[in-house]
C-alpha cells in the first residue's frame, strides 16, 4: 500500500482566480499524507467564472474529459470535479482508467445519508434546481430529498459579502428544517465554503460543505484503492473505449495542458 494519496481537484472552468481559494480549503482539511494538485482548465473553454447554465456546462465537456484522461496518465489516485452539478461525472469515470472520480453533489449526499434520512439542498438560484434534481434522481436519492431552498445569489456573490451570505444561508436552512422536514442540509455550491460550521452549531443539524465532502470522499476512495485495489470497474456499462480505438481516432494524441496548477503537499 502506498503511504500517500495523490488527488487532483479540478476547477472545471478556464478561470483560475478560485484556485487559490480551493487550495487554502484543501490545505486546512486534507490528511497530512495526501498530496493535492488544484488545477483549472485552460482558456480553450472560455473565461466563464461559473457553470450555472447548461450552455456553460456543454462548453467544458471536451476539455474536462481530456483533463480526466491526463490525470489518469499522471497516476493520480482520485480526481474531484469541483462543481456541485457534478458535470460529466459518469463520462469522466468512463475514461479514468484506475483513477476514481468523485463529484461534490454525489459525495455530499452519501455523507448526509449516513447522518439522516432526509436532506435539503441550499442553492443560489431557482435556475439550478432542475439540473440538480435530475442528477439526484439519476443517483437514486430522490426519495431522500426534502427540498431545494434558494437564496437568490449567483456563484460569484457567495464570497463577496460573508455576512449577507451567512444570513441568507441561515434563513434558508431554517425554512428547510421547519417547513420541509429536512434532517440534514447540503450547501449546493462549492463556493458556499466557510459557512457550514456556524449554521451547524446554531441550528443543531448536520450541514455538509460540498468541497470538504468531495475531498474526504476522494481521500477515502484513494486509500481503499491503494490498500484493497478497489478501483473502477470496466465491465458492461463501465467499459471504457479501447486503447486501440483511442489511438485510431487520435483522441488524445497531445498531452493535455492545464490552465493552472497549485500543489499542496504539506
Tens digit of each residue's pLDDT, the chain (266 residues): 678 999 999 999 998 989 999 999 999 999 999 999 999 999 888 889 999 999 999 999 999 999 999 999 999 999 999 999 999 999 999 999 999 999 999 999 999 999 999 999 999 999 999 999 999 999 999 999 999 999 999 999 999 999 999 999 999 999 999 999 999 999 999 999 999 999 999 999 999 999 999 999 999 999 999 999 999 999 999 999 999 999 999 999 999 999 999 999 98
Strand partners, 184: 119
Q: How far apart are CA 76 and CA 228, in angstroms?
A: 16
SS3 content of the chain, % helix, strand, coil (to 5): 50, 15, 35
pTM of the predicted structure, to 2 decimals: 0.97
- What are the domain boundaries of the chain? 5-103+212-264, 105-209
pLDDT in the model for residue 47: 84
Q: One fold for both 5-103+212-264 and 105-209? A: yes
User: Rounded to the nearest 5 degrees, what angle is found at the Cα of 12, between the Cα atoms of 258 and 74?
Assistant: 45
Which fold, 105-209?
Rossmann fold (3.40.50)
Q: Output the CATH code of domain 5-103+212-264.
A: 3.40.50.1860
Amino acid at each position: 500500500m502506498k503511504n500517500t494519496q495523490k488527488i487532483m481537484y479540478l476547477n472545471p472552468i478556464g478561470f483560475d482566480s478560485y484556485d487559490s481559494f480551493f487550495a487554502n480549503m484543501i490545505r486546512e482539511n486534507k490528511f497530512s499524507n495526501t498530496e493535492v494538485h488544484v488545477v483549472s482548465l485552460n482558456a480553450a473553454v472560455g473565461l466563464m467564472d461559473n457553470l450555472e447554465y447548461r450552455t456553460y456546462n456543454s462548453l467544458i465537456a471536451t476539455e474536462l474529459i481530456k483533463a480526466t484522461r491526463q490525470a489518469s496518465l499522471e497516476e493520480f489516485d482520485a480526481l474531484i470535479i469541483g462543481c456541485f452539478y457534478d458535470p460529466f461525472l459518469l463520462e469522466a469515470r468512463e475514461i479514468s482508467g484506475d483513477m476514481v472520480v468523485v463529484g461534490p453533489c454525489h459525495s455530499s449526499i452519501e455523507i448526509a445519508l449516513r447522518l439522516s434520512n432526509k436532506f435539503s439542498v441550499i442553492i443560489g438560484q431557482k435556475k439550478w434546481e432542475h439540473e440538480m434534481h435530475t442528477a439526484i434522481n439519476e443517483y437514486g436519492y430522490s426519495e431522500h430529498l426534502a427540498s431545494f431552498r434558494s437564496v437568490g445569489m449567483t456563484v460569484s456573490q457567495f464570497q463577496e459579502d460573508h455576512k449577507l451570505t451567512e444570513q441568507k444561508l441561515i434563513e434558508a436552512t431554517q425554512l428547510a428544517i421547519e417547513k420541509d422536514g429536512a434532517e440534514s442540509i447540503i450547501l449546493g455550491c462549492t463556493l458556499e465554503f466557510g459557512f457550514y460550521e456556524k449554521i451547524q452549531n446554531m441550528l443543531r443539524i448536520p450541514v455538509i460543505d460540498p468541497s470538504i465532502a468531495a475531498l474526504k470522499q476522494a481521500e477515502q476512495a484513494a486509500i481503499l484503492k491503494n490498500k484493497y485495489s478497489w478501483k473502477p470497474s470496466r465491465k458492461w456499462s463501465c467499459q471504457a473505449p479501447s486503447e486501440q480505438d483511442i489511438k485510431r481516432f487520435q483522441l488524445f494524441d497531445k498531452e493535455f495542458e492545464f490552465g493552472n496548477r497549485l500543489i499542496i503537499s504539506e
